Structures are given as structure tokens and as C-alpha cells.
Chain A
Amino acid sequence: MHITENQARRLKKLADKLAEWVITVAGVTVIAAMFAMLALIVREAAPLFFPATQRMVGAVSLPDGVAARDVAALGVEGDLSEKMRVAGVILRDGRCGFARLDDGEPKGFALERLPEAPASAAILSVEVHDNDKFSVLWDDGTASLYAMEVRFPAGADGKPAAAHSFYPVFHHRPDQAEWTNSPPLSALLRGDAAEHRVVGVFADGSVAERRLAPGAGLLGRSKSVASQRTIRIGRGGAVTAAALSDDGMLYMGTNEGNLLSLDLSGDAEGEAASEVTPVFRDRRAISALVFLNGGYAVAVGDASGAVSVWFPRRENGEFRLRRSVDWPTGGGGVKAMAVSGRDRGLVALDDAGRLRWFYSTTGNELLEIPASRSRPELPALNARADNLATLHADGAIVFSRLDSSYPEAGWAGFFKRLLYEGYETAAYVWQSTGSDASEPKLSLMPLVWGSVKAAVFALLFATPIALAAAMYLSQFAAPAFRARLKPAVEMLAAVPSVVIGFIAALWLAPLMERYLRFFAGASQYDQRNSLVIAIAMGFAVIPTVFSLAEDAISAVPPALSAASLALGASKWQTVIRVVVPTASPGIFTAVMLGFGRAVGETMIVLMAAGNTPIISLSPFNGMRTLSANIAVEMPEAPVGGTLYRTLFLCALILFVLTLAINTAAEVFRHRLRNRYGKV
């Protein structure tokens, strides 16, 4: 077929149009993809900084003839689809019942006597632990542990139904009538029928412990060992509140502002170490005491309405009970507290009816839960701490939905020095956790430090070598040689960083340890340390810096150096006084871009830096960088969890860091060019 000139022109135009269109789309796509990625990262990380929220869901009234003051204890549970909520109630007369809220619809409830309750006995006190365990002390001297079990099995119609009960775990009946004649303030029961501990706390500061333990060894099941002891501290005032951890640490608060501690963890016959810690100078009474999740830190509510958190901290080699945070007075004494079973959150209710929600790790007050209806008298949380029930003076049980929204995160969690449980001083610590019992520690400072340290060390190694090589090749080497060598050096960039990391970790690190350990002297020498990283990552950075610097130096007009040489300057003088200053904007950009490359590098640091999140200047310590942290922690981060979002935040910081470095490089380059580059 013959194509006319006209047709050919049109075809050319069409091709032109098409090419323009394709190229435009590609260009815009790249830019759009970058913004989309940034938006995604921001979207995933942003909820970390959202405030906690609460929402009242509904209320159920106590049955007729039962008043709020008849209620001894309260428990709450909700199903995961958030359709049903159940509150368990134990009355002082020994009856119990469940209030239900189905899809916001209140269901009245029937009362019945607690199973296996001693005949015609009434309840003196109830202690709640683990959100669903109730230690009940009866006025006939019996102590019983009840567990509240609430399940939401799927009903016939596929919707969840609720099955709930209080079931007795075990009962303890003291041999003599001692607990009937002068009943303890409260009885704290832990364990089950086969192995348990019963601790009676008396107002005068004496403690009676009864224990049943399976014997040690292979035949342990056949003979249980029962033991008992009575310990009298008798100092510090009258006991007003008590809390017992699973390990057997007993704290008692007194009316003179003292915290009595008694370590019941050792042998049942042995001495228990006791200590009196004055916690309030003004000797105000302690009105409520509860262990935070993990059983190490204890929250203290006092008569002024303030709440503080205390735990043992090492001071001069010995553990002493010390305060970590306190929240100032709310007005009126603290009446009751409820704790989360998943994190370090707690809810405190004071006499004025104010209900406040705190988080101990960060020291934040998450929220004040606004009072609804009449004054709240008793709060209860479920283990997940997403359901709150409050008993009100008018006999209503109000259900609220709580959303703590990543309380361990936020500005304080990421960037502030925090005093974590058991730590001697406040510190920046990254230690995402493996169990519910330990606090997640999410300070990003060690990671930012690690990224910057790794990059700085790499540049300290790479810059002199790369610049010297660039000067040599552009100014001193024979042109033919240069044409071959420059691509050769740039080939270095093609070596995958995983190969460099592999060599560094398995060959270089042990080699360096053999020769350099001596220089570390008495200080810590890690086999995978900053020097190894300097060399390994230096190699990854050299091609970037070299290539850009060489281009910059080569771009200096030959007329300049020729003039300098003609005026009698030596080759070296010419390079250092004329060529390098002229090329300095380019050289600077090269170094900064090398820095940006080093900050984002992952494989080498992941493999050869030891991944220890340490803030230290020592070249003999390792580090953990933001990028390696994402790679290390990714598999263990459940989607939507705190760690998951924190890793997105790490990505965001990396992004911003590289962006800032590259922008700074540009700005400086412009300045330097204005100064030196006017040729």
C-alpha cells in the first residue's frame, strides 16, 4: 500500500500524540503513586494519636426492692460483635444476678442465692481481681472464691445468646471461729481447689495466710501440703485497703498514708519480708488499692481523690517502693478502682462521682467519663477494658463502650523518656512485648538514633574514599583509564545489599572482632557493631557518592584549572583551591544523597548491626535502625494493632527523614552554587 505524504504526516502526528499521552500518564502515575503511598502510611499511622473515646450504650435497673447500697460487687462482659452486654451483680445478702443489655434493649434480671453459699450468711466484703474473680467473705467466717463466667454462644437464629453464671472455685472455712469473732477487713483468695492461697487482712495490720499446695515431685498429686501462718506488722496505722498479686505480694494501705508490703511468695513456713513505706507526707488515708495488669505496679487511691502508681524500683542495690506517676485530686476520696486485663489502664471513681480513666505507662489521663443520671457508686471493667459498667445511686447499671485507641502509643509513648515498671530511671526503650504481663515499650528514639548513627558512620567511612577516588579519576588519571574505571566503580552499586550484609555479618564481623576487641578495653564490645556497619554500608554508599562527586568535579570548566596551572599553581593546589570549591555544590549533594541512601538501607543493618536498640556513641556497640525494625517486627504485628501502626509510623519517619535530607541537600546546593558556582 502506498502512503501519501499527508497520511504519513498524520501518522507521525498520531504517534506523537500517543507517545505524549503515554509518557504523561506514566509520569503522573509515578507522582500519584508516591502521594498515594504517603497517604496510606499516614492513614495507618494516624490512629495512634487519636484520643480515647467512650459512649454510653444503655442502662438496666436493679430489681424492685434492691437498692444500690445492697450491691457488694459488680462485673461486666460484652460480646465481640458488641451486640450484647452482661453485668453480674453480687448482693450483700448473698444473692446474685445478671443484668443484660441486648442490642441496647434492657433485660430485667432474676436474683438467686450464690451457689454453695453458706446457709443464711450475709456478705461482709468482696474483692475483685482479674476482672471476673470475686473473693467473698461471709459473716460466718467462710471465704469463697467465685468466678463470673459469661459466654456468647451462637443461638439457633445465628445471633449470639448469653450464658452466664457465678460458679464457686473453692471455699475456705477456718477451723476455729476466729474469723467470725473478729472478722478480717477482707479475704483475698487466689488459685483453685487443688492449690490455693487465702489471705485474711485485718484492720490492725495482721495478716493470716492459709495455703494449700501440691507436694513437689512425681507423686505430688497424692498429698497436698496445707500450711498457715499469721504475721503482724502492727505499724503504720489501721489498714483500709489491700491488694494481692498472683505471685503473693501483698500491699496494704493505711489511714495514715502508709503502704505496708508483705512478701508472701516464699516458703509457707518462712519469714515474710515486710516493709512500711510512707507514701504521703501529709499522712492522708489510702482509700483504695489495686494491682495493675501484670501484677507488679499498684495503683493507690487516697482520701484527697488523687491516684498514684507505685512499684518496687532498685535504689542503691535494694528494691524500694517508689512512685512512678500520679494524677492530681479529682475531688473527694477515691472510692473504687477497676483495671484493664490487657494493658496498664485503670478507671478510678471518687466520692464526688467523677469517673476518670488513666494509663499508667505514659502517665496520661485518657478521659473523664461524664456522669450520667445520678452519682456512680461502683465501676467494673471487663478484661479487654472495652466494656464499662457503673452502678448508680438510683439503682441503675449503666453500660458504656470504651475505646482506648492505642493508649501505650501517642507522643509520650514514642518520644518521651518514660519510667517503665521496674526501671531505675526514666529511659527511651524499644521493647515490643511478648506477653500481656509486661508493658510494651515503644520509644522510637533508639531507632531514630540507630538510623542516624548507622548513616553517619557509613559516611565517615565512605566520603573520604569516594571523594578521593572521584578527584583521582577526574583530575589525575589518564582519560582512557578513567573511561574504564568509572563504570567499574559504579558497578559496585549493582552488588545486592543482602550480599554485602551477608559478607559483613559472617566474615567481616568475626574478623574485626579478632583485631579490634583490644581497642574496646573494658567497655562492651559487640561483634556486630557500628564499625562493621561503617565499612559494610560504606561500600553500599561509595558508588552513589563517588559517581555524583565525579560528575561534579568533571563538570568544572577546564579553563579554570588551566588558568590556575598557568599562574604557577601546582596540580594539588589547583585541585584543592580551584576545582573542589567550584564543584562543592555537587560534592555536597553527593554526600547528602549518600546519607539519604544510608538512612533507608535495610538489609545490611538488619544482618550485621545486631538489631540492639541502644542509644550510645560507642563505635563498638550495635544499633537498630528504623528500616531494620520494620523488617524485624513485621511478622509479629497483627493487622490493626498498636505494633502494626507503630511500624507504619517508623515508615513515615523514614520517609520524612529522607525527604528532609534531600530537601536540605537541594537548598544547600543552591546556596553553594550561588557562592562558588558563578563561572
Chain B
Amino acid sequence: MTLSMAKKNLGKALLGVSCLFASACLAGDALPAYRQQSGVAGSVNSVGSDTLNNLMAYWGEAFMAIYPNVAVQVEGKGSATAPPALAAGAAQVGPMSRPMKGSEIDDFEKARGFKPTAVAVAIDCVAVYVNKDNPIKGLSLPQVDAVFSSTRKLNHADVTNWGQLGLTGEWANRNISMYGRNAASGTYAFFKEKSMGNGDYKNSVKEQPGSAAVVNGIAGDKAGIGYSGIGYRTSEVRALPIAAKDGAAFVEPEFKNAIDGSYPLSRLLYVYIPKDPAQPLPAATLEFMKFILSKEGQELVVRDGYGPLPADVLREQLQLLGAK
């Protein structure tokens, strides 16, 4: 699958989500509750996205509470760490905040002989955070591009201080201090694609090893600005409303806006599984995935600050697991 197709599929998935969400809400369709199975034991190792790190830990804890004989271990250094770990068999589940690249699928297929399966697990709004004392109302995508990108493909004049974004007084001459993720991050790749037309980051963007580090950096730096999943919002930072174009209305990073497509930086979060088409998944992995896609699992999604998937979409995802 080429990237462009992946991009389209993502858009379509979100669009599909939107339709389904509307119908699901209207019909009052309940999320499927998780039913405990007997004789589930073993271990589930998760390697991948930092955006999904806390959520994976929540899921793991809750899952281990149901099955004391299952050990769930979670490591989250970035989406790019998932494909190598899945290919090597070091992980049974690989959370990713972006779809796999073509080359990553190639490498996986070379090692395992089949293609990995992407299971959507939650909805995320990538938020642009500023310090809580920053008075700015919101930003347009071209402005975001001009702040973060050296290539500025959205063609806005370069922005290096807050005055150029319309702030006055003591803020007018304050230089903008950018925080971002390292290249292992799916959020890094997503932000690059959506907010800067696949342009390049300025080399003055400080690369942080995790989402929490980005938010902490901004919390301690008045002139700071950065991006991360909405699940990492704290009281020390503010998630800015974003307009898709200059002059358009600002849209808050909220899930209803993600679902109707008006918030431009919304995306699906995935868990990749190495599902051999000829064989069923190991019981522990299968049950863990079923738990993630259950009512209980999706309640944890809400608790971690992300958006739950509608019931219809959950059912589609369940079918991907090959479970009855």
C-alpha cells in the first residue's frame, strides 16, 4: 500500500467513523462488553508508540486484573520501534500512532512471510500546545507551518517571534521556542504531513524523546510551543484551537470535531498485530485485543483523554482479529 493510499484510507476511515458514529448515536447502539474466557495465560509484549504508552499501560493493568496468569509488558519509545519489534517476534502487539510505511511492511513481510494487520483502537486529536500564560487565541495551519517548518510549503511568511502571530506587549518580541518529537514518533510524521505538507522541520525544533517531555518543556518555557496527542494535556499548557486555513474559524481539538473532520489534525491510533492468515492468534494476544475493543477497553480510552471508537467500527476491527 502506498502512502497516498494509506492517507486516503485514513481519511475514509475517519469519514466512515463519522457516519457510523452518527448512526450509532441515533440508534443508541451499545458498545459490546468484554466477556472473560477461561484458560487464558501467557504474556503480551507491547513495543511502539509513545502517544499510546499510557493507554497501553491502562489496558495492560486492567487486563492483568482479569487474567492474573497473563503478563503484559509495555514499552513506548515511538511508533517506529513497533515494526522491527513485531518482525523480530519481540512484541505481540505494536501500538502505532501512524500507519506503517511501505518499507516497514516490506521488512515485516520479509521476516514473517505475511503482512501485519492494523487494528484501529482510538481517535486522537494532535494538539498544538502553548504555555498556559500565552494569550494567543488560536493558529491557522499555515501559521503552524511557518512556526515549525523550514520549507513552509503552505506559503506563509516565516514566523520566529510571537509578535508575528499577533501578540502584543511583552510577547511581541519574544522568540518562539519550538518543541517536537524525535523521528521515531508517529506524531512527528503525522504533524509533518498534515500541518506542513510533508515539508521539513526547522532544525531549531527541540526534539524530545516523549510526548510528556514535550508538554513538560512547554510548561516550563513561557515562549514554548509544541505538538502531542491530546491525551497528554495538563493544566500547565493550553491546547490551541486550529483553523484549516488563514481566516477560517478556529476549531477546538475535541473529538466531535475530529469525527466530523473539522479539526484538521485528527487521526486514528492503531495497534498492529502479526496475524498469520493461516493460524489463529495466541489466546492471550487475541483476548487482549478483544478487551481493547470492548466497552471496558474503550472506557479506558476516554479516561486517558482520547476518543473512543463507535460500536460499528469496533465490530469491524474485531473481525480483523479473526475471532468469532
Residue B305 lies at the interface, judged by CB distance under 8 Å to chain A:
no
Selected from A220, A294, A436, the residue in CB contact (under 8 A) with B18 is A220
Complex contacts, A446 vs chain B, CB 8 Å: 203
Name A422's closest neighbour in chain B (CB-CB): B151
Residue A154 lies at the interface, judged by CB distance under 8 Å to chain B:
yes
Residue B283 lies at the interface, judged by CB distance under 8 Å to chain A:
no
Interface string of A347-358 (1 = CB under 8 A from B): 000000000000
Selected from A192, A216, A434, the residue in CB contact (under 8 A) with B80 is A434
- Evaluate contact between B22 and A218: CB separation under 8 angstroms: yes
Selected from A296, A435, A527, the residue in CB contact (under 8 A) with B193 is A435
Spot the interface stretch: B102-110, B126-134, B136-144, B230-238.
Answer: B102-110
In the bound complex, how far is the Cα of B83 from the Cα of A109, in angstroms? Answer: 37
Residue A327 lies at the interface, judged by CB distance under 8 Å to chain B:
no
Complex contacts, A5 vs chain B, CB 8 Å: none
Tell me the residues in window 199-219 of chain A with beta carbons closer than 8 Å to chain B beta carbons.
214, 216-219
Selected from A219, A221, A342, A438, the residue in CB contact (under 8 A) with B200 is A438
Residue A635 lies at the interface, judged by CB distance under 8 Å to chain B:
yes
- Evaluate contact between A612 and B204: CB separation under 8 angstroms: yes
Residue B41 lies at the interface, judged by CB distance under 8 Å to chain A:
no
Residue B152 lies at the interface, judged by CB distance under 8 Å to chain A:
yes
In the bound complex, how far is the Cα of B22 from the Cα of A614, in angstroms? Answer: 48
Interface string of B55-97 (1 = CB under 8 A from A): 0000000000000000000000110110110010000000000
In the bound complex, how far is the Cα of B81 from the Cα of A194, in angstroms? Answer: 35
- Evaluate contact between A527 and B177: CB separation under 8 angstroms: yes
Tell me the residues in window 432-449 of chain A with beta carbons closer than 8 Å to chain B beta carbons.
432-438, 441, 446
- Evaluate contact between A639 and B84: CB separation under 8 angstroms: yes
A217-B260, A218-B22 known; A80 and B157 CB under 8 Å? no
Name A147's closest neighbour in chain B (CB-CB): B5
Residue A183 lies at the interface, judged by CB distance under 8 Å to chain B:
no
- Evaluate contact between B200 and A526: CB separation under 8 angstroms: no
Tell me the residues in window 171-218 of chain B with beta carbons closer than 8 Å to chain A beta carbons.
173, 175, 177, 182-186, 188-189, 192-193, 197-201, 203-207, 209, 217
- Evaluate contact between B182 and A632: CB separation under 8 angstroms: yes
Interface string of A319-349 (1 = CB under 8 A from B): 1000000000000000000000110000000
Residue B2 lies at the interface, judged by CB distance under 8 Å to chain A:
yes
Selected from B103, B155, B185, the residue in CB contact (under 8 A) with A436 is B103
A522-B173, A612-B204 known; A436 and B19 CB under 8 Å? no
Complex contacts, A636 vs chain B, CB 8 Å: 77-78, 80-81, 182-184
Residue of A214, A294, A430, A636 most packed against chain B (CB within 10 A): A636
Tell me the residues in window 458-485 of chain A with beta carbons closer than 8 Å to chain B beta carbons.
none
Complex contacts, B203 vs chain A, CB 8 Å: 429-431, 446, 612-614
Selected from B2, B12, B153, B206, the residue in CB contact (under 8 A) with A526 is B206
Complex contacts, B153 vs chain A, CB 8 Å: 422
A341-B2, A638-B104 known; A612 and B205 CB under 8 Å? yes
- Evaluate contact between B160 and A524: CB separation under 8 angstroms: yes
- Evaluate contact between B185 and A434: CB separation under 8 angstroms: yes
Residue B15 lies at the interface, judged by CB distance under 8 Å to chain A:
yes
Residue A384 lies at the interface, judged by CB distance under 8 Å to chain B:
yes
Residue of B7, B84, B157, B217 most packed against chain A (CB within 10 A): B84
Complex contacts, A437 vs chain B, CB 8 Å: 3, 193, 198
Residue B303 lies at the interface, judged by CB distance under 8 Å to chain A:
no
Tell me the residues in window 228-282 of chain B with beta carbons closer than 8 Å to chain A beta carbons.
259-261, 278
Name B102's closest neighbour in chain A (CB-CB): A436
Residue B296 lies at the interface, judged by CB distance under 8 Å to chain A:
no
- We find that the number of chain B residues with CB closer than 8 angstroms to chain A is 66
Complex contacts, B259 vs chain A, CB 8 Å: 218
Complex contacts, A632 vs chain B, CB 8 Å: 182, 207, 209
- Evaluate contact between A383 and B2: CB separation under 8 angstroms: yes
Complex contacts, B4 vs chain A, CB 8 Å: 130, 246, 295
Complex contacts, B205 vs chain A, CB 8 Å: 612
Complex contacts, A314 vs chain B, CB 8 Å: 151-152
The total of interchain contacts (Cβ-Cβ below 8 angstroms) comes to: 158
- Evaluate contact between A621 and B192: CB separation under 8 angstroms: no
A431-B183, A510-B220, A639-B84 known; A383 and B204 CB under 8 Å? no
- Evaluate contact between B107 and A638: CB separation under 8 angstroms: yes
Residue A633 lies at the interface, judged by CB distance under 8 Å to chain B:
yes
Question: Nearest Cβ in chain B — how far from A544, in angstroms?
Answer: 28
Residue A611 lies at the interface, judged by CB distance under 8 Å to chain B:
yes
Name A314's closest neighbour in chain B (CB-CB): B152
Interface string of A98-137 (1 = CB under 8 A from B): 0000000000000000000000000000000010000000
Interface string of A406-424 (1 = CB under 8 A from B): 0000000000000011110
Residue A270 lies at the interface, judged by CB distance under 8 Å to chain B:
no
In the bound complex, how far is the Cα of B98 from the Cα of A434, in angstroms? Answer: 10
In the bound complex, how far is the Cα of B103 from the Cα of A441, in angstroms? Answer: 17
Residue A594 lies at the interface, judged by CB distance under 8 Å to chain B:
no
Name B176's closest neighbour in chain A (CB-CB): A524
A438-B192, A526-B204 known; A342 and B102 CB under 8 Å? yes
- Evaluate contact between A635 and B189: CB separation under 8 angstroms: no
Question: Nearest Cβ in chain B — how far from A35, in angstroms?
Answer: 29
Name B193's closest neighbour in chain A (CB-CB): A435
Question: Nearest Cβ in chain A — how far from B84, in angstroms?
Answer: 5
Residue A622 lies at the interface, judged by CB distance under 8 Å to chain B:
yes
Question: Nearest Cβ in chain A — how far from B106, in angstroms?
Answer: 6
A218-B19, A633-B182, A636-B183 known; A438 and B198 CB under 8 Å? yes
Selected from A80, A220, A434, A528, the residue in CB contact (under 8 A) with B183 is A434
Complex contacts, B54 vs chain A, CB 8 Å: none
- Evaluate contact between B206 and A610: CB separation under 8 angstroms: yes
Question: Nearest Cβ in chain B — how far from A654, in angstroms?
Answer: 20
A435-B189, A441-B200, A636-B182 known; A622 and B206 CB under 8 Å? yes
Complex contacts, A502 vs chain B, CB 8 Å: none
- Evaluate contact between A80 and B81: CB separation under 8 angstroms: no
- Evaluate contact between A635 and B81: CB separation under 8 angstroms: yes
Tell me the residues in window 167-194 of chain A with beta carbons closer than 8 Å to chain B beta carbons.
191-192, 194
Question: Nearest Cβ in chain B — how far from A616, in angstroms?
Answer: 9
Complex contacts, A641 vs chain B, CB 8 Å: 107
Complex contacts, B189 vs chain A, CB 8 Å: 433-435
- Evaluate contact between B200 and A431: CB separation under 8 angstroms: yes
Beyond contacts A246-B4, A341-B2, A434-B186: 12 other A-B pairs, Cβ-Cβ < 8 A, are A130-B2, A130-B4, A195-B12, A214-B15, A220-B19, A221-B15, A294-B198, A434-B184, A436-B103, A612-B203, A614-B203, A633-B182
Task: Report 26 cross-chain contacts, Cβ distance below 8 Å, ordered by A residue.
Answer: A195-B12, A214-B15, A218-B18, A219-B19, A220-B15, A220-B19, A314-B152, A319-B155, A341-B102, A383-B102, A384-B103, A421-B151, A422-B200, A434-B188, A437-B3, A438-B200, A523-B175, A525-B175, A526-B204, A611-B182, A612-B203, A633-B183, A635-B77, A635-B184, A638-B83, A639-B84
Q: Return the 8 tightest CB-CB contacts between A and B, nearest first.
A: A434-B189, A636-B184, A636-B80, A422-B151, A246-B4, A635-B77, A610-B206, A80-B110
Query: Residues of A with Cβ closer than 8 Å to B?
Result: 80, 130, 154, 191-192, 194-195, 214, 216-221, 246-247, 294-296, 314, 317, 319, 341-342, 383-384, 420-423, 429-438, 441, 446, 510, 513, 522-528, 610-614, 621-622, 632-633, 635-636, 638-639, 641
